[in-house]
Structure 1
Protein backbone atom coordinates (compact mmCIF):
# COMPACT_ATOMS: atom_id res chain seq x y z
CA UNK A 1 0.00 0.00 0.00
CA UNK A 2 1.35 3.46 -0.89
CA UNK A 3 2.12 5.83 1.90
CA UNK A 4 -0.79 8.12 2.83
CA UNK A 5 0.60 11.62 2.47
CA UNK A 6 -1.17 13.97 4.87
CA UNK A 7 -2.37 17.54 4.78
CA UNK A 8 -0.25 19.42 7.30
CA UNK A 9 -2.08 22.12 9.30
CA UNK A 10 0.18 24.52 11.19
CA UNK A 11 -0.48 27.11 13.89
CA UNK A 12 1.32 28.69 16.82
CA UNK A 13 -1.12 26.96 19.14
CA UNK A 14 -4.49 25.24 19.00
CA UNK A 15 -6.47 28.03 17.35
CA UNK A 16 -5.94 26.44 13.94
CA UNK A 17 -8.29 23.67 14.97
CA UNK A 18 -11.04 25.97 13.64
CA UNK A 19 -9.49 25.54 10.19
CA UNK A 20 -8.94 21.81 10.64
CA UNK A 21 -12.64 21.44 11.43
CA UNK A 22 -13.60 22.94 8.04
CA UNK A 23 -10.93 20.97 6.18
CA UNK A 24 -12.36 17.75 7.60
CA UNK A 25 -15.84 18.68 6.38
CA UNK A 26 -14.64 19.25 2.82
CA UNK A 27 -12.14 16.40 2.54
CA UNK A 28 -13.14 13.55 4.89
CA UNK A 29 -10.97 11.01 3.07
CA UNK A 30 -7.75 12.92 3.76
CA UNK A 31 -5.25 12.26 6.52
CA UNK A 32 -4.19 15.25 8.64
CA UNK A 33 -1.21 16.16 10.79
CA UNK A 34 -1.86 19.18 13.00
CA UNK A 35 1.25 20.98 14.29
CA UNK A 36 0.96 23.33 17.26
CA UNK A 37 4.16 25.31 17.68
CA UNK A 38 3.37 25.84 21.35
CA UNK A 39 7.07 25.98 22.23
CA UNK A 40 7.14 29.37 20.48
CA UNK A 41 3.65 30.63 21.47
CA UNK A 42 2.76 33.48 21.35
CA UNK A 43 4.33 34.59 18.10
CA UNK A 44 3.68 38.23 19.00
CA UNK A 45 6.58 38.11 21.47
CA UNK A 46 9.12 37.34 18.74
CA UNK A 47 11.27 39.68 16.69
CA UNK A 48 10.19 39.26 13.06
CA UNK A 49 13.47 38.07 11.54
CA UNK A 50 14.00 35.50 14.29
CA UNK A 51 10.41 34.24 13.96
CA UNK A 52 10.75 33.89 10.19
CA UNK A 53 13.96 31.87 10.55
CA UNK A 54 12.38 29.72 13.26
CA UNK A 55 9.34 28.81 11.17
CA UNK A 56 11.43 28.00 8.07
CA UNK A 57 13.73 25.73 10.09
CA UNK A 58 10.76 24.02 11.69
CA UNK A 59 9.12 23.40 8.32
CA UNK A 60 12.32 21.93 6.96
CA UNK A 61 12.03 19.15 9.53
CA UNK A 62 8.25 18.81 9.36
CA UNK A 63 8.28 18.31 5.60
CA UNK A 64 11.09 15.75 5.77
CA UNK A 65 9.28 13.89 8.56
CA UNK A 66 5.69 13.85 7.27
CA UNK A 67 6.03 14.40 3.48
CA UNK A 68 2.73 16.30 3.20
CA UNK A 69 0.72 16.78 0.03
CA UNK A 70 0.01 20.35 1.08
CA UNK A 71 0.54 22.65 4.06
CA UNK A 72 -2.10 24.99 5.48
CA UNK A 73 -0.68 27.84 7.55
CA UNK A 74 -3.64 28.34 9.90
CA UNK A 75 -2.10 31.43 11.46
CA UNK A 76 -2.42 35.02 10.25
CA UNK A 77 0.84 36.15 11.84
CA UNK A 78 2.89 33.38 10.22
CA UNK A 79 1.08 33.71 6.88
CA UNK A 80 1.63 37.45 6.52
CA UNK A 81 5.28 37.11 7.57
CA UNK A 82 6.79 33.96 6.10
CA UNK A 83 4.65 32.59 3.24
CA UNK A 84 6.96 33.87 0.44
CA UNK A 85 9.95 32.20 2.11
CA UNK A 86 8.13 28.88 2.53
CA UNK A 87 6.90 28.85 -1.05
CA UNK A 88 10.35 29.70 -2.39
CA UNK A 89 12.09 26.99 -0.39
CA UNK A 90 9.76 23.99 -0.38
CA UNK A 91 8.23 22.31 -3.47
CA UNK A 92 4.68 21.81 -2.24
CA UNK A 93 1.54 23.95 -2.21
CA UNK A 94 0.99 26.28 0.74
CA UNK A 95 -2.34 27.80 1.72
CA UNK A 96 -2.14 30.82 3.99
CA UNK A 97 -4.51 32.66 6.27
CA UNK A 98 -4.91 36.36 5.66
CA UNK A 99 -7.36 38.91 7.09
CA UNK A 100 -10.76 38.49 5.42
CA UNK A 101 -10.89 42.13 4.36
CA UNK A 102 -12.17 41.51 0.84
CA UNK A 103 -15.27 39.47 1.83
CA UNK A 104 -15.92 41.83 4.75
CA UNK A 105 -15.93 44.82 2.41
CA UNK A 106 -18.18 43.01 -0.07
CA UNK A 107 -20.75 42.08 2.58
CA UNK A 108 -20.85 45.26 4.63
CA UNK A 109 -23.95 47.41 4.28
CA UNK A 110 -22.83 50.22 6.55
CA UNK A 111 -19.34 50.52 5.08
CA UNK A 112 -17.88 50.26 8.58
CA UNK A 113 -15.83 47.12 9.16
CA UNK A 114 -13.27 46.13 11.75
CA UNK A 115 -10.40 43.66 11.63
CA UNK A 116 -9.71 42.00 14.97
CA UNK A 117 -6.17 40.62 14.85
CA UNK A 118 -2.89 40.25 16.68
CA UNK A 119 -0.62 43.31 16.83
CA UNK A 120 1.74 41.63 14.35
CA UNK A 121 -0.99 41.22 11.73
CA UNK A 122 -2.24 44.77 12.28
CA UNK A 123 1.17 46.32 11.62
CA UNK A 124 1.99 44.27 8.51
CA UNK A 125 2.11 46.22 5.24
CA UNK A 126 0.35 43.23 3.66
CA UNK A 127 -2.76 44.03 5.72
CA UNK A 128 -2.78 47.61 4.49
CA UNK A 129 -2.37 46.42 0.92
CA UNK A 130 -5.53 44.34 1.31
CA UNK A 131 -7.39 47.43 2.50
CA UNK A 132 -6.12 49.50 -0.44
CA UNK A 133 -6.94 46.75 -2.94
CA UNK A 134 -10.36 45.66 -1.70
CA UNK A 135 -11.82 48.09 0.83
CA UNK A 136 -11.16 51.62 -0.39
CA UNK A 137 -14.88 52.35 -0.19
CA UNK A 138 -15.05 51.29 3.48
CA UNK A 139 -13.90 52.69 6.77
CA UNK A 140 -11.69 49.92 8.16
CA UNK A 141 -10.74 49.87 11.84
CA UNK A 142 -7.70 47.70 12.63
CA UNK A 143 -7.78 46.40 16.20
CA UNK A 144 -4.72 44.56 17.52
CA UNK A 145 -5.06 42.52 20.70
CA UNK A 146 -1.99 41.09 22.42
CA UNK A 147 -4.11 39.03 24.82
CA UNK A 148 -7.00 37.37 22.97
CA UNK A 149 -5.02 34.47 21.51
CA UNK A 150 -3.73 33.52 24.95
CA UNK A 151 -7.22 33.91 26.42
CA UNK A 152 -8.57 31.58 23.73
CA UNK A 153 -5.85 29.00 24.42
CA UNK A 154 -6.61 29.00 28.14
CA UNK A 155 -10.37 28.85 27.50
CA UNK A 156 -10.00 25.88 25.17
CA UNK A 157 -7.99 24.08 27.82
CA UNK A 158 -10.80 24.50 30.32
CA UNK A 159 -10.03 27.90 31.83
CA UNK A 160 -12.70 30.49 32.57
CA UNK A 161 -13.14 33.75 30.66
CA UNK A 162 -13.11 37.17 32.29
CA UNK A 163 -15.95 38.79 30.37
CA UNK A 164 -15.00 42.33 31.42
CA UNK A 165 -11.46 41.75 30.15
CA UNK A 166 -12.80 40.26 26.94
CA UNK A 167 -15.11 43.24 26.46
CA UNK A 168 -12.23 45.69 26.80
CA UNK A 169 -10.21 43.76 24.19
CA UNK A 170 -12.90 44.07 21.50
CA UNK A 171 -14.34 47.48 22.41
CA UNK A 172 -12.46 49.34 19.68
CA UNK A 173 -14.09 47.17 17.01
CA UNK A 174 -17.37 49.02 17.37
CA UNK A 175 -17.58 52.32 15.50
CA UNK A 176 -20.49 54.73 15.12
CA UNK A 177 -20.26 57.26 12.29
CA UNK A 178 -22.94 59.47 10.74
CA UNK A 179 -25.72 57.25 12.06
CA UNK A 180 -24.03 54.09 10.80
CA UNK A 181 -22.56 51.28 12.89
CA UNK A 182 -19.89 48.65 12.37
CA UNK A 183 -21.68 45.63 10.94
CA UNK A 184 -18.83 43.16 10.26
CA UNK A 185 -15.79 42.19 12.32
CA UNK A 186 -13.26 40.05 10.46
CA UNK A 187 -11.60 37.59 12.85
CA UNK A 188 -7.99 37.78 11.68
CA UNK A 189 -6.59 35.17 14.06
CA UNK A 190 -7.62 31.53 13.92
CA UNK A 191 -7.91 31.44 17.72
CA UNK A 192 -10.68 34.03 17.77
CA UNK A 193 -13.60 32.00 16.36
CA UNK A 194 -13.44 29.90 19.53
CA UNK A 195 -14.43 33.07 21.40
CA UNK A 196 -17.15 34.13 18.96
CA UNK A 197 -20.06 33.05 21.17
CA UNK A 198 -18.63 35.12 24.02
CA UNK A 199 -18.12 38.06 21.65
CA UNK A 200 -21.79 37.93 20.65
CA UNK A 201 -22.89 38.13 24.28
CA UNK A 202 -20.86 41.22 25.11
CA UNK A 203 -21.07 43.15 21.82
CA UNK A 204 -22.90 46.51 22.10
CA UNK A 205 -24.90 45.63 18.98
CA UNK A 206 -25.14 42.61 16.64
CA UNK A 207 -22.40 42.22 14.02
CA UNK A 208 -21.29 39.48 11.65
CA UNK A 209 -18.16 37.83 13.09
CA UNK A 210 -16.42 36.70 9.90
CA UNK A 211 -14.50 33.42 10.21
CA UNK A 212 -12.16 32.70 7.25
CA UNK A 213 -11.90 28.94 7.92
CA UNK A 214 -14.33 27.84 5.20
CA UNK A 215 -12.56 29.90 2.51
CA UNK A 216 -9.20 28.46 3.56
CA UNK A 217 -10.55 24.92 3.34
CA UNK A 218 -12.01 25.54 -0.11
CA UNK A 219 -8.68 26.84 -1.37
CA UNK A 220 -6.87 23.80 0.01
CA UNK A 221 -9.38 21.49 -1.65
CA UNK A 222 -8.77 23.21 -5.00
CA UNK A 223 -5.02 22.57 -4.76
CA UNK A 224 -5.16 18.88 -3.84
CA UNK A 225 -5.30 16.05 -6.37
CA UNK A 226 -8.63 14.28 -6.50
CA UNK A 227 -7.18 10.90 -5.53
CA UNK A 228 -8.51 10.33 -1.99
CA UNK A 229 -11.60 8.14 -2.15
CA UNK A 230 -11.12 5.77 0.79
CA UNK A 231 -10.76 6.67 4.43
CA UNK A 232 -7.12 6.73 5.58
CA UNK A 233 -5.84 3.88 7.73
CA UNK A 234 -3.14 5.94 9.48
CA UNK A 235 -4.42 8.01 12.42
CA UNK A 236 -4.48 11.79 12.34
CA UNK A 237 -1.89 13.36 14.62
CA UNK A 238 -1.53 16.51 16.70
CA UNK A 239 2.13 17.42 17.20
CA UNK A 240 3.15 19.77 20.03
CA UNK A 241 6.61 21.29 19.67
CA UNK A 242 6.95 22.03 23.39
CA UNK A 243 7.18 18.35 24.21
CA UNK A 244 4.53 18.86 26.85
CA UNK A 245 0.92 17.77 26.34
CA UNK A 246 -1.44 18.06 29.29
CA UNK A 247 -4.36 15.72 29.85
CA UNK A 248 -6.75 18.58 29.06
CA UNK A 249 -4.99 19.34 25.78
CA UNK A 250 -4.89 15.67 24.77
CA UNK A 251 -8.62 15.41 25.48
CA UNK A 252 -9.30 18.57 23.47
CA UNK A 253 -7.51 17.42 20.32
CA UNK A 254 -9.00 13.95 20.71
CA UNK A 255 -12.37 15.64 20.33
CA UNK A 256 -11.15 16.81 16.92
CA UNK A 257 -10.17 13.25 15.97
CA UNK A 258 -6.45 13.72 16.65
CA UNK A 259 -3.99 11.63 18.59
CA UNK A 260 -1.69 13.96 20.57
CA UNK A 261 2.03 13.49 20.26
CA UNK A 262 4.80 15.42 22.00
CA UNK A 263 7.70 16.67 19.91
CA UNK A 264 10.34 18.61 21.78
CA UNK A 265 12.82 18.89 18.92
CA UNK A 266 11.58 22.20 17.58
CA UNK A 267 14.19 24.94 17.23
CA UNK A 268 14.12 27.65 19.88
CA UNK A 269 14.80 31.38 19.81
CA UNK A 270 18.35 30.76 20.95
CA UNK A 271 19.20 28.27 18.19
Structure 2
Protein backbone atom coordinates (compact mmCIF):
# COMPACT_ATOMS: atom_id res chain seq x y z
CA UNK A 1 0.00 0.00 0.00
CA UNK A 2 1.40 3.37 -0.97
CA UNK A 3 1.55 6.04 1.75
CA UNK A 4 1.14 9.66 0.74
CA UNK A 5 4.35 11.13 2.09
CA UNK A 6 3.27 14.71 1.52
CA UNK A 7 -0.10 14.46 3.19
CA UNK A 8 0.71 13.25 6.67
CA UNK A 9 -1.35 10.51 8.28
CA UNK A 10 -3.17 10.96 11.55
CA UNK A 11 -2.61 14.59 12.42
CA UNK A 12 -5.49 16.80 13.50
CA UNK A 13 -5.76 20.10 11.62
CA UNK A 14 -3.32 22.62 13.06
CA UNK A 15 -4.83 25.14 15.47
CA UNK A 16 -3.72 28.64 14.64
CA UNK A 17 -2.47 30.74 17.54
CA UNK A 18 -1.18 34.32 17.68
CA UNK A 19 2.41 33.10 17.84
CA UNK A 20 4.33 32.31 14.69
CA UNK A 21 5.41 28.71 14.12
CA UNK A 22 8.91 27.28 14.12
CA UNK A 23 9.57 25.29 10.95
CA UNK A 24 12.47 22.84 10.74
CA UNK A 25 13.72 21.97 7.25
CA UNK A 26 15.91 18.87 7.26
CA UNK A 27 18.20 17.30 4.66
CA UNK A 28 21.38 15.27 4.52
CA UNK A 29 23.16 18.29 3.08
CA UNK A 30 22.46 21.44 1.10
CA UNK A 31 19.78 20.21 -1.29
CA UNK A 32 17.01 21.20 1.10
CA UNK A 33 17.92 24.84 0.50
CA UNK A 34 15.71 24.64 -2.59
CA UNK A 35 12.78 23.60 -0.41
CA UNK A 36 13.64 26.09 2.33
CA UNK A 37 13.47 28.93 -0.21
CA UNK A 38 9.92 28.04 -1.22
CA UNK A 39 8.68 27.49 2.34
CA UNK A 40 10.26 30.79 3.39
CA UNK A 41 8.30 32.58 0.64
CA UNK A 42 5.09 30.89 1.81
CA UNK A 43 5.60 31.64 5.53
CA UNK A 44 8.00 34.61 5.77
CA UNK A 45 6.77 35.28 9.29
CA UNK A 46 7.92 31.89 10.65
CA UNK A 47 11.00 31.04 12.64
CA UNK A 48 13.19 28.74 10.57
CA UNK A 49 15.84 26.18 11.36
CA UNK A 50 17.61 24.58 8.41
CA UNK A 51 19.34 21.38 9.53
CA UNK A 52 21.91 19.62 7.33
CA UNK A 53 23.15 16.25 8.50
CA UNK A 54 26.42 16.71 6.65
CA UNK A 55 28.13 14.18 8.92
CA UNK A 56 25.92 11.55 7.27
CA UNK A 57 26.05 12.88 3.70
CA UNK A 58 25.38 11.27 1.29
CA UNK A 59 22.55 9.17 2.68
CA UNK A 60 22.60 6.92 -0.37
CA UNK A 61 25.77 5.21 0.86
CA UNK A 62 24.09 4.02 4.08
CA UNK A 63 22.18 0.77 4.31
CA UNK A 64 18.53 1.12 5.20
CA UNK A 65 18.76 0.14 8.88
CA UNK A 66 21.65 2.52 9.48
CA UNK A 67 19.86 5.34 7.67
CA UNK A 68 16.66 4.94 9.68
CA UNK A 69 18.59 4.88 12.96
CA UNK A 70 20.67 7.89 11.92
CA UNK A 71 17.73 10.10 10.95
CA UNK A 72 15.82 9.17 14.12
CA UNK A 73 18.82 10.01 16.30
CA UNK A 74 19.49 13.35 14.60
CA UNK A 75 15.81 14.28 14.69
CA UNK A 76 15.62 13.43 18.39
CA UNK A 77 18.31 16.04 19.05
CA UNK A 78 16.84 18.64 16.72
CA UNK A 79 13.29 18.36 18.06
CA UNK A 80 14.59 18.58 21.62
CA UNK A 81 16.66 21.69 20.89
CA UNK A 82 14.33 23.63 18.61
CA UNK A 83 10.79 22.43 19.41
CA UNK A 84 9.49 22.81 15.84
CA UNK A 85 5.80 23.06 15.08
CA UNK A 86 6.36 21.26 11.77
CA UNK A 87 9.26 19.42 10.14
CA UNK A 88 9.91 19.27 6.41
CA UNK A 89 12.01 16.29 5.34
CA UNK A 90 13.58 17.89 2.26
CA UNK A 91 15.19 14.67 1.09
CA UNK A 92 13.71 12.00 -1.16
CA UNK A 93 15.92 9.24 0.24
CA UNK A 94 14.92 9.91 3.84
CA UNK A 95 11.28 10.54 3.00
CA UNK A 96 10.70 7.31 1.11
CA UNK A 97 12.32 5.25 3.86
CA UNK A 98 12.18 6.97 7.25
CA UNK A 99 8.93 8.96 7.38
CA UNK A 100 6.79 6.17 8.88
CA UNK A 101 9.29 5.74 11.72
CA UNK A 102 9.49 9.50 12.30
CA UNK A 103 5.72 9.82 12.49
CA UNK A 104 5.54 6.96 14.94
CA UNK A 105 8.25 8.44 17.17
CA UNK A 106 7.31 12.14 17.21
CA UNK A 107 4.04 14.03 17.66
CA UNK A 108 5.12 16.92 15.42
CA UNK A 109 3.73 16.86 11.84
CA UNK A 110 6.17 15.85 9.09
CA UNK A 111 5.96 16.83 5.43
CA UNK A 112 8.01 14.66 3.09
CA UNK A 113 9.44 14.89 -0.39
CA UNK A 114 8.57 12.41 -3.14
CA UNK A 115 9.65 12.02 -6.76
CA UNK A 116 7.46 14.35 -8.82
CA UNK A 117 6.26 11.65 -11.21
CA UNK A 118 2.63 12.75 -11.21
CA UNK A 119 3.24 16.40 -12.21
CA UNK A 120 5.83 15.34 -14.80
CA UNK A 121 3.31 13.03 -16.43
CA UNK A 122 0.66 15.76 -16.23
CA UNK A 123 2.72 18.28 -18.22
CA UNK A 124 4.20 15.86 -20.77
CA UNK A 125 2.79 16.02 -24.28
CA UNK A 126 5.14 13.47 -25.80
CA UNK A 127 4.31 10.96 -23.02
CA UNK A 128 8.06 10.48 -22.55
CA UNK A 129 9.34 11.54 -19.14
CA UNK A 130 12.45 10.94 -17.08
CA UNK A 131 13.00 10.77 -13.33
CA UNK A 132 16.44 12.05 -12.32
CA UNK A 133 17.21 10.77 -8.82
CA UNK A 134 19.84 9.11 -6.68
CA UNK A 135 20.40 5.39 -7.26
CA UNK A 136 18.70 4.61 -3.96
CA UNK A 137 15.55 6.56 -4.83
CA UNK A 138 15.38 4.94 -8.28
CA UNK A 139 15.53 1.50 -6.67
CA UNK A 140 12.84 2.16 -4.06
CA UNK A 141 9.53 0.34 -4.44
CA UNK A 142 7.84 3.65 -3.65
CA UNK A 143 9.25 5.21 -6.83
CA UNK A 144 8.21 2.24 -8.93
CA UNK A 145 4.71 2.47 -7.48
CA UNK A 146 4.48 6.16 -8.37
CA UNK A 147 5.38 5.36 -11.96
CA UNK A 148 2.76 2.61 -12.19
CA UNK A 149 0.08 4.76 -10.57
CA UNK A 150 0.61 8.12 -12.25
CA UNK A 151 2.61 7.51 -15.42
CA UNK A 152 1.22 4.24 -16.72
CA UNK A 153 0.65 5.73 -20.18
CA UNK A 154 4.14 7.24 -20.38
CA UNK A 155 7.50 5.88 -21.38
CA UNK A 156 9.46 6.54 -18.20
CA UNK A 157 13.25 6.59 -17.98
CA UNK A 158 14.63 6.24 -14.46
CA UNK A 159 18.11 7.75 -14.11
CA UNK A 160 20.10 7.17 -10.94
CA UNK A 161 22.88 9.76 -10.72
CA UNK A 162 25.78 8.90 -8.46
CA UNK A 163 27.46 12.29 -8.52
CA UNK A 164 25.03 15.18 -9.03
CA UNK A 165 24.27 15.74 -5.33
CA UNK A 166 27.97 15.98 -4.57
CA UNK A 167 28.43 18.31 -7.55
CA UNK A 168 25.73 20.64 -6.19
CA UNK A 169 27.45 20.67 -2.80
CA UNK A 170 30.80 21.38 -4.44
CA UNK A 171 29.41 24.35 -6.34
CA UNK A 172 28.02 25.93 -3.18
CA UNK A 173 31.28 25.45 -1.29
CA UNK A 174 33.24 27.22 -4.03
CA UNK A 175 34.53 24.22 -5.98
CA UNK A 176 33.20 24.59 -9.56
CA UNK A 177 32.30 21.44 -11.51
CA UNK A 178 33.01 21.07 -15.23
CA UNK A 179 30.12 21.13 -17.69
CA UNK A 180 31.23 17.77 -19.06
CA UNK A 181 30.84 16.16 -15.64
CA UNK A 182 27.32 17.50 -15.18
CA UNK A 183 26.31 16.61 -18.74
CA UNK A 184 27.46 13.03 -18.22
CA UNK A 185 24.97 12.72 -15.34
CA UNK A 186 21.94 14.24 -17.06
CA UNK A 187 22.46 12.92 -20.61
CA UNK A 188 20.60 9.61 -20.01
CA UNK A 189 17.45 11.62 -19.22
CA UNK A 190 17.18 12.79 -22.82
CA UNK A 191 15.66 10.05 -24.95
CA UNK A 192 14.68 10.51 -28.60
CA UNK A 193 13.10 7.59 -30.40
CA UNK A 194 10.18 6.71 -32.68
CA UNK A 195 9.67 10.34 -33.62
CA UNK A 196 9.28 11.59 -30.04
CA UNK A 197 11.55 12.74 -27.28
CA UNK A 198 11.60 13.42 -23.56
CA UNK A 199 9.82 16.65 -22.68
CA UNK A 200 9.59 16.52 -18.85
CA UNK A 201 12.16 15.56 -16.22
CA UNK A 202 11.29 15.14 -12.54
CA UNK A 203 14.11 16.32 -10.29
CA UNK A 204 13.82 13.64 -7.62
CA UNK A 205 16.62 14.89 -5.39
CA UNK A 206 16.39 18.28 -3.73
CA UNK A 207 20.04 18.97 -4.57
CA UNK A 208 19.38 18.97 -8.29
CA UNK A 209 17.46 22.27 -8.60
CA UNK A 210 20.61 23.97 -7.26
CA UNK A 211 22.10 23.17 -10.67
CA UNK A 212 19.04 24.13 -12.67
CA UNK A 213 20.74 26.95 -14.60
CA UNK A 214 23.46 24.55 -15.69
CA UNK A 215 20.86 21.98 -16.73
CA UNK A 216 19.06 24.54 -18.89
CA UNK A 217 22.27 25.55 -20.59
CA UNK A 218 23.52 22.02 -21.20
CA UNK A 219 20.25 20.35 -22.19
CA UNK A 220 20.24 19.13 -25.82
CA UNK A 221 16.65 20.39 -26.16
CA UNK A 222 14.21 22.30 -23.91
CA UNK A 223 12.31 20.28 -21.31
CA UNK A 224 10.11 20.99 -18.32
CA UNK A 225 12.16 20.47 -15.15
CA UNK A 226 9.78 19.49 -12.33
CA UNK A 227 10.84 20.71 -8.88
CA UNK A 228 8.73 19.45 -5.91
CA UNK A 229 9.56 22.43 -3.68
CA UNK A 230 6.51 24.59 -4.53
CA UNK A 231 4.13 21.70 -3.76
CA UNK A 232 5.88 21.14 -0.43
CA UNK A 233 5.46 24.81 0.47
CA UNK A 234 1.76 24.61 -0.35
CA UNK A 235 1.40 21.59 1.93
CA UNK A 236 3.09 23.47 4.77
CA UNK A 237 0.53 26.27 4.41
CA UNK A 238 -2.29 23.72 4.39
CA UNK A 239 -1.09 22.34 7.72
CA UNK A 240 -0.05 25.56 9.47
CA UNK A 241 -2.17 28.17 7.73
CA UNK A 242 -0.98 31.28 5.94
CA UNK A 243 1.35 33.93 7.32
CA UNK A 244 0.13 36.08 10.16
CA UNK A 245 -0.42 39.58 8.81
CA UNK A 246 0.68 41.27 12.01
CA UNK A 247 4.02 39.48 12.11
CA UNK A 248 7.19 39.62 10.13
CA UNK A 249 10.17 37.35 10.58
CA UNK A 250 11.38 38.30 14.04
CA UNK A 251 14.80 36.67 13.92
CA UNK A 252 17.25 35.43 11.34
CA UNK A 253 16.87 31.85 10.22
CA UNK A 254 19.42 29.43 11.64
CA UNK A 255 21.45 26.82 9.73
CA UNK A 256 22.61 23.82 11.76
CA UNK A 257 25.24 21.33 10.58
CA UNK A 258 26.17 18.03 12.22
CA UNK A 259 29.85 18.30 11.29
CA UNK A 260 30.58 21.58 9.51
CA UNK A 261 33.55 19.89 7.86
CA UNK A 262 32.84 21.45 4.48
CA UNK A 263 32.25 24.96 5.79
CA UNK A 264 33.98 27.51 3.57
CA UNK A 265 33.75 31.25 3.11
CA UNK A 266 31.93 30.62 -0.17
CA UNK A 267 29.37 28.40 1.55
CA UNK A 268 28.81 30.88 4.37
CA UNK A 269 28.20 33.61 1.79
CA UNK A 270 25.83 31.34 -0.15
CA UNK A 271 23.86 30.51 2.99
CA UNK A 272 23.61 34.16 3.97
CA UNK A 273 22.40 35.08 0.47
CA UNK A 274 19.68 32.44 0.84
CA UNK A 275 18.44 33.86 4.13
CA UNK A 276 20.58 31.83 6.56
CA UNK A 277 23.12 34.22 8.08
CA UNK A 278 23.39 32.32 11.38
CA UNK A 279 25.28 29.02 11.47
CA UNK A 280 25.65 26.55 14.34
CA UNK A 281 27.50 23.24 14.54
CA UNK A 282 25.64 20.53 16.47
CA UNK A 283 28.30 17.83 16.30
CA UNK A 284 26.88 14.36 15.71
CA UNK A 285 29.50 12.08 14.18
CA UNK A 286 28.19 9.24 12.08
CA UNK A 287 28.53 5.80 13.59
CA UNK A 288 27.73 2.75 11.50
CA UNK A 289 28.54 0.27 14.27
Establish whether TM, by shorter chain, passes 0.5.
yes
Shift of 1:10: 0.5
Show the counterpart of 1:46.
Answer: 62
1:193 paired residue among 198, 209, 228: 209
Normalised by the size of structure 2, how large is the TM-score?
A: 0.89
Structure 2 CA distance for partners of 1:9 and 1:206, relative to 1, 3 Å? same
2:181 is aligned with 1:165: yes
CA deviation map 1:41-76 (0-9, x unaligned): 111111111011000111011111100010001111
**Equivalent residues, number:** 270
Please list the CA deviations of residues 88-113 of structure 1 after superposition, one character each: whole Å capped at 9, or x if unmatched. Answer: 11101111110000011111100000
Is structure 2 residue 10 aligned with structure 1 residue 24? no
Superposed, 1:1-271 pairs within 5 Å as 5-226=21-242, 228-229=244-245, 230-244=247-261, 245-270=263-288
Shift of 1:156: 1.6
**Cα pair 1:113 1:182 within 8 Å, conserved:** yes
Quote the offset at 1:251 in angstroms: 1.4
Give per-residue Cα distances to partners, 1:148-187, cap 9 Å, x unaligned. Answer: 0000111122221211111111111011232010000100
Q: Distance in 2 between matches of 1:67 and 1:59?
A: 11
Give secondary structure in 2 for the equivalent of 1:238. Answer: strand
Can you list the C-alpha shifts for 1:215-243, whole angstroms capped at 9, x where unaligned?
Answer: 11101111114573302323210001104
CA-atom RMSD in angstroms: 1.6
Distance 1:235 1:208 in 2: 34
Q: How many angstroms does 1:212 deviate by?
A: 1.0
**Structure 1 residue ranges without an equivalent (≥5):** none
Alpha-carbon distance between aligned partners in 2 of 1:223 and 1:264, rounded to the nearest angstrom: 28
Q: Distance in 2 between matches of 1:154 and 1:225?
A: 36
- C-alpha distance in structure 1 between counterparts of 2:219 and 2:242, whole Å: 42
Retained in 1: the 8 A contact 2:44–2:249? no
Point out 4+ residue stretches in structure 1 off by more than 3 angstroms.
Answer: 2-5, 225-229
Distance across 1 between alignment mates of 2:110 and 2:77: 16
TM-score for both structures, normalised by structure 1: 0.95
Q: For the Cα contact (< 8 Å) 1:4–1:234, is it kept in 2?
A: no
* Distance in structure 1 (CA, Å) of the matches to 2:243 and 2:217: 43
What is the CA–CA distance in structure 2 between the aligned matches of 1:237 and 1:3, rounded to whole Å? 18
